[in-house]
Chains A and B, each alone.
Chain A
């Protein structure tokens, strides 16, 4: 194996690594201007994104392609550590897009912060870990990649070293994270004990061929629980709210927007990819055709988790008085929707889940960026503090309104398309799966309440004069900062653009999901 064939597949990761190292070098050289660092991070992520898009075969970007075409969606080996699927590449694209937007928005952070280089460096390193998750086909490789991301994000949360809230959040994040890692590895060791391999494809084949003793069920159970930490499934979610709330809003945007998605992709890999083998063998359970079937038990477990997660997340979001906590709970309930896709496991369902993930990156990432911006404008953390903001900052208000409407699934936004695709996949799957669509729809209806409440506060309530100081008067005209404004504007436009004409992106995801299902078998 010569060097180029080894480096070639990992160009995006190496680009990010290079950018991170450059940032640390600049730190040593004493160059700590926020804008400079942000530019480096943006440049690194942009190049990596172009490379991924080129690999995905977007014609105008094919010059950036770094992968040989025959590598993508090739038949998976039962020994390798990594493989390149087009679905994985799409996830890489989603991760990179999010990192790019957060880096861009961070250009508007107050200049001269001491830890700025560390912030960008860690952001890029966390992204490297995420990119690796997207290509893993080995359980240990996968868990280590998740760990790379986790460790970087623990530190990101604690980025405001002197703030007790941030530190406390980081501590919780770390302890629960460590616990979950232990569970995951224990599950992996059980599977290894049962089948003698850690390759996911091999495990999947073995599950089908050899059968699944209780040992295997326990192994999968541990993996469900361990990975559920990242996905923020109820009841593994409790850390998320405190952490999203305590972390700097930019970091929350990153955490809520993307890092939980690596957990979902890990679910795809562990419970779907290798396992579709079972489907071809054919099961006699009513859930034949579901994810790694284990006679249907796993499907039921995941379905219960999905419904519980979306319902509890929504109920708690209803009660919140603070904006960030409301968004955090809404994020948890969204994870429940995405899990529907894993539970059903057909190509349309994976398409729907991926679309939902893409939409959620935009909507929730964007919403947290707006919160960061509004926080920088000196507005308090309570939802009621946002009174009249929509009329005072009409553009910002409109962007935030778009994100909330999209979260609620209003037509002509990307959030509608993703939910539509996801729920119709559940209906198409027929049988008991239809109840998942019903649960999802009921929950969507429930969620409209708290999104609408924010809209009402923003646009129809006027701030009572004495309690809060007038917002605009105190604000400089460009208080939002260009980087943040561009990032938010881009997200808002994309939400509508994809909502109005989803077919290009949807089509790409559809064919990738189709490949993913076929490759797995």
Chain B
């Protein structure tokens, strides 16, 4: 981990360098016709601006979460398991970030997935945790299959028609020191590449919980809060965005792909934010917020600004981990996640309260906190691309509207938990701050949440982003270039906070009138648009129907065939076995028979077949 940090810092100091070292794991020589350049499966590491940025996040947040865990998890059983799985996760995540080709990337991708599965199900004795782990695993698996198909298509495409120079046929391997960017291949094969890009998008959507594969992330909150902070906010879920970013930088998307990515990202940003508005569970509110923020990142990458997306990923990792750890601190203190039972915690938990407030401000995009800079960059970047396709407009507007919702829901959570005089549920234990190992990470992350956005004004950091993005050929937009845009977004953020204060501030609890037409909306939102129900229904009906049919086929068709085959095989191999008489004269007979067989093949069968095949 320290090593990873050093690499990241080293990359900071000399931005734009590419270190690519690899060894060939297995090389198949090419032959004319197929794979003219041969096929290499390589294992290697690649340090470039993109991976350095993510490496910094993984190591810093990973370290702080480990520290925090000492305090947060101290009462839990199974600590060795916890730390082992967390360490394995960090190792896999570092490997993922440093991979230099898609196949290797995919291996680590699966590894972080399985760690996530373990850690969500850490409290495996709880049925809800166990089923959440399974759900996360299965839903992301859909994305993984798509991703793998995408890799196959790229592999096929680039090993047959791709440029022979830098490509080793199977991923974003490129010659040392040369510009990595490969332009989108237009004309022949571009349909294929579009499909591949959509497959990659599917994989990213699974990992980064984008619509419609978002259902697993809120349920993943069954795991320990530390895990939520590290894996389900800062690092693993960001891997999907990272995948999109590296694909756009090293391979390139077609314009159809870009539209699809923009649509998914923009819609998810808004869609997830609406669900966060009504949810009573503090962790799930933050989880929906994560989905929504990941949507912003996807949006940015789709619009062609990979580095802007990663910049938001970078700032988001800090303030979202901060929010989760602060929420964890609350849960640690009073043992509930229900916002409506909390209240007045500001007095007893000053550090946590301040940390959550800073995280909230950063999330809401209030300057000068971190979220403002990166989120504003995204909006500005997408705005600059609005001309490229008319369909960008609705998703841009959705993302803009989500700014208001974001500010509202996160401050609703803050007011509910921390403002007021006392807890609403008197049975809760008296709140107190956690030990220093829990407070220190909060303070450090708060500092990051304040200043991470300002990093952009460090020349080295800026150069890092510029170099990474320069590769895409589109200069990114930095800072409030479009002051009006920033003004509107900040205004929306402030309005959201204001609304939250008006409804929930000072211990108020706003109850929607029973006869309000909004009740039905609220109900839909609380049920998460009935997505899970629908999935369950479809899953149940479909799977049940299929299994019915399969059962029938199994019973009558397959079993019958198997029994038949068994009989055939049995008699065949019995015959064969009986041939193994042990009598040497029989064996000699086989040899002679074999000889005659060879002659028949050579002299009669083969010439006949050849004449049929049209050669000879």
Interface residues of chain A, those whose CB is within 8 Å of chain B, are 171-172, 175-176, 179-180, 183, 214, 217-218, 220-222, 224-225, 228-229, 233-236, 238-239, 241-242, 284-288, 294-301, 304-305, 312, 315-316, 318-319, 346-348, 351, 417, 420-421, 424-425, 427-430, 432, 501-503, 506-507, 510, 514
Contact = CB atoms under 8 A, between A and B. Distances in A.
Contacts of A503: 23-27
B131 to A, nearest CB: 28
Interface of A (DSSP majority class): helix
A110 B587 CA distance: 34
A32 B482 CA distance: 95
B183 to A, nearest CB: 29
Among B588, B594, B613, chain A packs the most CB atoms within 10 A around the CB of B594
B26 A506 contact: yes
Contacts of A235: 590-591, 593-594, 597
Interface stretch (B256-264, B332-340, B384-392, B573-581): B573-581
Given A295-B607, A348-B28, 14 more contacts: A172-B584, A176-B591, A218-B599, A235-B597, A286-B614, A297-B601, A300-B605, A300-B609, A304-B601, A424-B28, A428-B34, A506-B27, A510-B29, A514-B29
Across the A-B interface, give the 7 residue pairs with the lowest CB-CB distance, nearest first: A297-B606, A300-B606, A286-B615, A225-B595, A285-B615, A238-B587, A301-B601
B605 A351 contact: no
7 contacts: A235-B593, A235-B597, A238-B587, A294-B602, A297-B603, A305-B598, A319-B573
A158 to B, nearest CB: 14
Contacts of A224: 598, 602
A297 B607 contact: yes
B29 A242 contact: no
Among A217, A221, A424, A429, chain B packs the most CB atoms within 10 A around the CB of A221
Contact of A316 (B39, B573, B602): B573
A168 B391 CA distance: 84
Contacts of A183: 591, 595
A295 B590 CA distance: 27
A284 B615 contact: yes
Contact of B602 (A172, A217, A238, A288): A217
Given A176-B591, A221-B595, A300-B601, A432 B25 contact: no
A351 B29 contact: yes
A514 to B, nearest CB: 7
B80 interface: no
Given A172-B587, A318-B573, A300 B603 contact: no
A296 B594 contact: no
Interface of B (DSSP majority class): helix
A264 B616 CA distance: 27
A157 B35 CA distance: 47
B572 interface: yes
Nearest to B40: A503
Nearest to B576: A316
Contact of B35 (A176, A300, A428): A428
B33 interface: yes
A35 to B, nearest CB: 37
Nearest to B572: A315
B615 A221 contact: no
Given A301-B606, A315-B573, A417-B26, A428 B584 contact: no
B30 to A, nearest CB: 8
A32 B144 CA distance: 64
Contact of A430 (B26, B34, B579): B34
A322 B375 CA distance: 69
Nearest to B574: A319
B582 interface: yes
Given A284-B615, A315-B576, A242 B582 contact: yes
B484 interface: no
B569 interface: yes
Contact of B615 (A241, A296, A298, A507): A296
A169 B602 CA distance: 32
A301 B598 contact: yes
B199 to A, nearest CB: 22
B559 interface: no
A337 to B, nearest CB: 17
A238 B593 CA distance: 12
Nearest to B588: A179
B421 interface: no
B27 A286 contact: no
A186 to B, nearest CB: 10
A241 B28 contact: no
A507 B27 contact: yes
A284 B610 CA distance: 11
Contacts of A298: 602, 606
Contacts of A424: 28, 39
Contacts of B516: none
Contacts of A316: 573, 576-577, 580
Nearest to A284: B615
A13 B28 CA distance: 33
B582 to A, nearest CB: 6
Nearest to A234: B594
Given A176-B591, A300-B606, A348-B31, A241 B26 contact: no
B85 to A, nearest CB: 22
B586 interface: yes
Contacts of B31: 346-348, 428-429
Interface string B37-68: 00100000000000000000000000000000
Contacts of A304: 601, 605
A316 B569 CA distance: 10
B156 to A, nearest CB: 12
Contacts of A420: 26
B25 A301 contact: no
Contact of A296 (B587, B603, B616): B616
A475 B609 CA distance: 59
A235 B598 CA distance: 10
B160 to A, nearest CB: 12
Contacts of B616: 284-285, 295-296
B118 to A, nearest CB: 22
B573 A176 contact: no
Among A238, A298, A427, A507, chain B packs the most CB atoms within 10 A around the CB of A238
Nearest to A241: B580
A506 B38 CA distance: 14
A512 to B, nearest CB: 12
B602 A348 contact: no
Contact of A348 (B24, B29, B595, B609): B29
Contacts of A284: 615-616
Contacts of A220: 602
Given A229-B591, A236-B591, A319-B573, A300 B26 contact: no
Contacts of B605: 300, 304
A221 B599 contact: yes
A288 B34 CA distance: 16
Contacts of B607: 295, 297
A410 B562 CA distance: 26
Nearest to A214: B603
A239 B573 contact: no
B215 to A, nearest CB: 32
A430 to B, nearest CB: 6
Contact of B603 (A217, A315, A430, A510): A217
Contact of B598 (A225, A295, A318): A225
A236 B606 contact: no
Given A221-B595, A312-B576, A501 B590 contact: no
A180 B588 CA distance: 9
Nearest to A427: B34
Nearest to A223: B598
Contact of B610 (A175, A285, A429): A285
Nearest to A315: B573
A297 B599 contact: no
B602 to A, nearest CB: 5
A432 to B, nearest CB: 7
